[in-house]
Amino acid sequence: MDNVYGGSAAPAKRLTVPEIRARKGKSPLAVVTAYDFTMARLVEEAGVDVVLVGDSLGMVVQGQGNTLTVTLEEMCYHGRAVARATRRAHLVGDMPFMSYQVSPAHAVESGGRMLKEGAFESVKLEGGGEFAEHVRSLVRVGIPVMGHLGLLPQSVHALGGFHVQGRSAEAAQKMVRDAQALEEAGAYSIVLEAIPPDVAAEITAAVRVPTIGIGAGPRCDGQVLVISDLLGLARGQSPRFVKRYAELGDAVVRAVSAYVGEVRGGAFPAPEHTYKS
């Protein structure tokens, strides 16, 4: 492939938006969240395709009850940290609550800040056809957009909590139309959260861009999990759709308890942990 600026183009270091689109129906996309340098470096080494800096950091990192308090500045801060640790994975960031809803122009301003100040390569926003013009405006100025349908955490109060969506035929068909509207507006992929698997499969078949499922069954073009859920860092009961691939919360408590015991008992630091004169 020729570089338009002259010479041969070097291979892309990061997974690009066109490459993600091209994975539709071919190779499933593995997506995880990360919010800091250390975790981002580890998931990058593990080979994930896309790292999402989600506004779920409000709950996972800050201990809030929902995602609504997260600010644009906080998203950019965490985005910069994650960007420093990643080289191959595509980096997408959630547009936080009220950073895009007011108007398409407001969405462009916020999205531009996320790419410039947060080092993101694309942004994700929640909502369907009612935000198609917002998506179109973002894409028009060169800001790639990932959509998000189904359970919309930023609408938790309107939805009456974190509940499965799309169970009625009417709601399912609206979700199909919303997905098509997002695709037509230029979204390069769409997250489907907490919807019945048959509805997710119908949406996946109805659009030409990849769908990324979370609690949406196996017939999406990829899957995403929150890293603390995947690793078992959040102790206690997990949502039904979560598979815990480790129980690191228990391991952390055991390790720190051992440290506390050795400090109090005088076993740490030992001679091998001290410098010689």
CATH label of the domain that carries residue 237: 3.20.20.60
Q: Residue 20: pLDDT band by 50, 70, 90 thresholds?
A: very high
Q: Catalytic residue among 193, 202, 247, 262, which?
A: 193
Structural domain boundaries enclosing 261: 250-277
- Tell me which amino acid residue 199 is: V
Q: Is residue 4 part of a domain?
A: no
C-alpha 82/C-alpha 183 separation (Å) is: 28
Structure confidence at residue 147 (pLDDT): 98
Q: Is residue 240 part of a domain?
A: yes
Please check the confidence at residue 7 and state whether its pLDDT lies above 60: no
Q: Is residue 218 part of a domain?
A: yes
* Residues 181 and 113 grouped into a single domain: yes
Q: Is residue 84 part of a domain?
A: yes
pTM for this predicted structure: 0.93
Query: Which range among 63-72, 138-147, 233-242 shows the weakest confidence by mean pLDDT?
Result: 233-242
Q: Is residue 1 part of a domain?
A: no
Q: Is residue 208 part of a domain?
A: yes
Asked about 193 being catalytic, the answer comes back as yes
Q: Catalogue the E-assigned strands of the chain.
A: 29-33, 50-53, 90-94, 122-124, 145-150, 189-193, 211-214, 222-225
* Residues 163 and 274 grouped into a single domain: no
Structure confidence at residue 11 (pLDDT): 47
* Residues 270 and 194 grouped into a single domain: no
Q: Is residue 90 part of a domain?
A: yes
Average pLDDT over residues 38-46: 98
Please check the confidence at residue 3 and state whether its pLDDT lies above 70: no
Average pLDDT over residues 91-98: 98
Domain count of the chain?
2
Q: Residue 101: pLDDT band by 50, 70, 90 thresholds?
A: very high
Structure confidence at residue 182 (pLDDT): 98
* Residues 86 and 208 grouped into a single domain: yes
The residues that bridge with 2 in the sheet, in sequence order, are: 8
Alpha carbons within 13 A on the beta-carbon side of 63: 0
At residue 139, φ and ψ (nearest 5 deg) are -65, -35
Tokens of 21: 């689109």
